[in-house]
A and B are shown apart, each in its own frame.
Chain A
Amino acid sequence: MTLTKKPESRPAPASWGLAAGEHPWEYAPAPEATDHIRIEPEYGLFIGNEFRPSKPRKTFTVINPATEEPLARVAHASKADVNRAVGAAHEAHRTVWSKLPGRERAKYLYRIARIMQERSREFAVVESMNSGKPIKESRDVDVPLAAAHFFYYAGWADKLEYAFPNRDPRSLGVAAQVIPWNFPLLMLAWKIAPALAAGNTVVLKPASTTPLTAYLFADVVRQADLPPGVVNIITGPGEIGMELVTHPDVSKVAFTGSTAVGKMIARAVAGSGKKVTLELGGKAANIVFDDAPLDQAIEGIVNGIYFNQGEVCCAGSRLFVQESVYEPLLDKLKARLGTLRVGDPLDKNTDVGAINSAGQLAKVQELVESGIEEGAEIFQPDCELPTRGFFFRPTLFTGVSQSHRIAQEEIFGPVLSVLTFRTPEEAIEKANNTPYGLSAGVWTEKGSRIFKMVNAMRAGVVWANTFNRFDPTSPFGGYKESGYGREGGIHGLGAYLDLSGNGTNGR
């Protein structure tokens, strides 16, 4: 922590009868057991249903961001490995997967969903150890949603003609999928489930800091007896991802990550004819009107920006509060921040876990510094942080103006910028004043106002009186520089099919 200003301490109200310095919410530690978890010392690349070392043999270390302790070494793929993985996927598509009737593909996907449910605790614990996210989130959100995605798309595999009537839906071939570190398993499921349902085979590259649940998933693939080569998983740095997406035998590219990298990928594959979907950055507006139920809104704001340490592309990182409720809302919000428990991701009471990496923590710190330097006022609860690991206090800034970097740039951390507005028109104007357009939130009791705001938001997902909800049936994706294409629902299925049979170019 290199903040130039000391975190503000907020004493509990006198009516609570606490002694000076006593924390209002004391919890005994409640750590999730890890003794049933087996993490291999080393993971090879998963190609053709086998773990193989990279060629040349090279590994890198994956750590637990909450302890900075090493968890495992994983293979560092080379260009030759990319060729092997794509080759395996290409062969599997040609000889097996594209010929398999949809109803049989479906059963494989159902198997995967079931095995993930059976092994859910194992997935949740490894996910929290590797990513730093609180166990209650990986257990209650990431893992069940990932299994649900497979279950949902399993059912589409033999119904493609009903999904796209008169469009002669066909699989594309090999899908190259590059995913981020914030929802390692969930993003894997968002990518692999629709790809397989549509009849494609995949080569997936997880983020280099969070490959462990992907390799655990590889074991699920083996348990489900998927034909070799249908799912391949390789690990390595960004350059390997670039080799993968530009490979000539890849027909579909799906990327989730930063807008900058998304643009690099889109440029690299321009003119190749590959079908592309991009799910990129965001800077969502969360708009609270004066008639909103404030206590609910507080929970929505907290869930919007502190869920997964704010490392969420659709995080509600810009809070717009109608001026007439600004003060009561801020008081409640600051008090609520004081009750957030920051610490061990494996503790069941933890609300905010570890930032995923030292590099990401440095980026968050740098942007927070910029907020202070540009004149915004910082508030952080006076909570204790673990001495090791990459932790950051839940933070909010008031006095933020539209031009501040913290109001413009995606921070991808637990940092909220609070701005105000007077009229709905002003809120619309300010909320849309960003190159991003992934998500937005609206809080008001007035139904007609909800729909006015919903219509006006240039964003792909709008949550009204809720925030950060996800479901396999519900399309997710951005407007403008937040990307194109949708994941989830029938729209997400279409993104993995050649639909050029009737008039469109089938992007």
Chain B
Amino acid sequence: MSPRTKTAARSTKGASVLDQRAAQPLATTNGARSQGDRIGVRKTYKLYIGGAFPRTESGRAYEVFGAKGELLANASRGTRKDIREAVRAARKAQSGWGAKTAYNRAQILYRIAELMEGRRDQFVAEVMAAEGLSRARATRAVDAAIDRWVWYAGWADKYPQLIGTVNPVAGSYFNFSVPEPTGVVGVIAPEESSLLGLVSRVAPVIVSGNAAVVIASESRPLPAVTLTEVLATSDVPGGVVNLVTGLRRELVGHLAGHMDVNALDAFGASADEAATLEEVAVENVKRFVRPPSAGLARYDWMADAAQSPYLIGEYVEIKTVWHPIGA
């Protein structure tokens, strides 16, 4: 991989961790060029909708800064229209994704982990830049994010046996209850934990067959965009995960109020934000997942408690089926 070799080679005094990055955000090429160094190729951070990487229809961007205040890149400033497009793409993709066998979805989620592993260094560099973590801590976060996909992949063909039931009704009927994906789920990604937090919320949404529309962290959106590049090449059908970056106050209300979104994960929202969103979400009786009561500030994304099969259960519907027993 020549770009990485190049950036590593030109590591100079005062250069940030960004110099270790495989991708080429603005900051990596803002520093003084070493002699004989080539001009880096910067990445344009775009939206991810329906399996494609469109620019925002607004044609606008906002600046993303690293933890030390350095400019990292311009990110797309998504709009209400982008949210609508994302919901449309999600709705289109959901039935096919939900109809895949659980075994198939398990393999696809596992494939995401495989491809993230291949880009591990890139993710570490991006998380270091975005969150200001040490290399060791960023590595732990990335590894946890990868492992989280593996963990949820394993649940795809198991959670229904945990959540579903056969019901011994008092009559001559065969009666059972099975979980089904709720449909299109909006996810407001946590602001702080740019990658692990995002993966922790999206994996349990899609593992059961939902399609997601994700609003990325506003201040730390770049690892999320890089994750979509992994999704695009992991056999996850286009539209199953859609990502919109931008200013949250311009986006979250439209996602919460959208009539074709069935559920909203506001775990990553602030308490104030969440109260308003919960009210807006009532319009079409959305299932609504609230932020933790103790707040997100000290939420431990690395903990075992940040992953749960019951979290999958927040985004499924229980369907009960009755059938008479007779000759």
Contacts and interface: CB of A to CB of B under 8 A. Distances in A.
A476 B320 contact: yes
Contacts of A477: 318
A482 B169 CA distance: 23
Nearest to B306: A503
Contact of A466 (B168, B281, B285, B323): B323
A136 interface: no
A457 B288 CA distance: 22
A122 interface: no
Given A271-B279, A464-B323, A471-B171, A505 B314 contact: yes
Interface stretch (A19-27, A46-54, A92-100, A483-491): A483-491
Interface in B279-314: 279, 281-285, 287-293, 305-308, 310-311, 313-314
A463 B322 contact: yes
Nearest to B271: A271
A393 B257 CA distance: 41
A462 B287 contact: no
Contact of A469 (B173, B274, B284, B285): B173
B13 interface: no
Nearest to B262: A480
A464 B322 CA distance: 6
Contacts, number: 130
B321 interface: yes
A270 interface: yes
Given A466-B173, A499-B310, A502-B310, A266 B285 contact: yes
Contact of A473 (B169, B281, B283, B289): B169
A489 B322 contact: no
Interface in B79-97: none
B48 interface: no
Nearest to B170: A471
Contact of B318 (A278, A450, A491): A491
Contact of A480 (B175, B275, B285, B311): B285
A414 to B, nearest CB: 23
Given A270-B275, A505-B289, A167 B169 contact: no
Interface residues of B, number: 46
A435 interface: yes
Contacts of A433: none
A459 B317 CA distance: 9
Given A273-B290, A503-B305, A475 B323 contact: no
Contacts of B311: 503-504
A473 B275 contact: no
B267 interface: yes
A473 B167 contact: yes
Which of A271, A463, A464, A500: most chain B Cβ within 10 A?
Answer: A271
A465 interface: yes
A226 interface: no
A273 B313 CA distance: 19
A267 interface: yes
B274 A271 contact: yes
Interface in B154-206: 165, 167-171, 173, 175, 177, 180, 182
A429 to B, nearest CB: 12
Nearest to A467: B322
Given A460-B317, A469-B171, A473-B167, A502 B285 contact: no
B167 A462 contact: no
B319 A461 contact: yes
A462 B177 contact: no
Given A270-B278, A469-B171, A471-B167, A280 B310 contact: no
A229 B321 CA distance: 37
A463 B174 CA distance: 10
A115 interface: no
B30 interface: no
Nearest to A144: B170
Which of B175, B292, B306, B317: most chain A Cβ within 10 A?
Answer: B317
Interface string B125-161: 0000000000000000000000000000000000000
A67 interface: no
A430 interface: no
B66 to A, nearest CB: 31
B324 interface: yes
A410 interface: no
A83 interface: no
Given A459-B319, A471-B167, A471-B171, A484 B324 contact: no
A194 interface: no
Interface in A268-287: 270-271, 273, 278, 280
B30 to A, nearest CB: 41
Nearest to B287: A484
Given A271-B276, A461-B322, A466-B322, A503 B173 contact: no
B285 A489 contact: no
B318 A490 contact: no
A500 B311 CA distance: 10
B275 to A, nearest CB: 3
A260 to B, nearest CB: 11
A74 interface: no
A392 B267 CA distance: 49
Contacts of B275: 270-271
A500 B293 contact: yes
B284 A435 contact: yes
Contacts of B324: 464-466
Given A450-B323, A474-B167, A505-B290, A263 B282 contact: yes
A333 B289 CA distance: 45
Given A271-B276, A460-B317, A466-B322, A504 B175 contact: no
B318 A486 contact: yes
Contacts of B287: 484, 507
A100 B89 CA distance: 52
A389 interface: no
Contacts of B177: 474-475, 489, 491
Given A473-B168, A504-B313, 16 more contacts: A263-B285, A273-B290, A460-B317, A462-B319, A462-B322, A463-B321, A464-B321, A469-B169, A469-B173, A475-B165, A479-B182, A491-B177, A500-B293, A502-B308, A505-B290, A507-B314
5 contacts: A273-B290, A460-B317, A462-B321, A479-B319, A505-B290
Interface of A: 148, 167, 259, 262-263, 266-267, 270-271, 273, 278, 280, 435, 450, 454-455, 457, 459-466, 469, 471, 473-477, 479-484, 486, 489-491, 499-500, 502-505, 507
Interface of B: 165, 167-171, 173, 175, 177, 180, 182, 262, 267, 274-276, 278-279, 281-285, 287-293, 305-308, 310-311, 313-314, 317-324
Q: Shortest 3 CB-CB distances between A and B: which pairs?
A: A271-B275, A503-B308, A270-B278
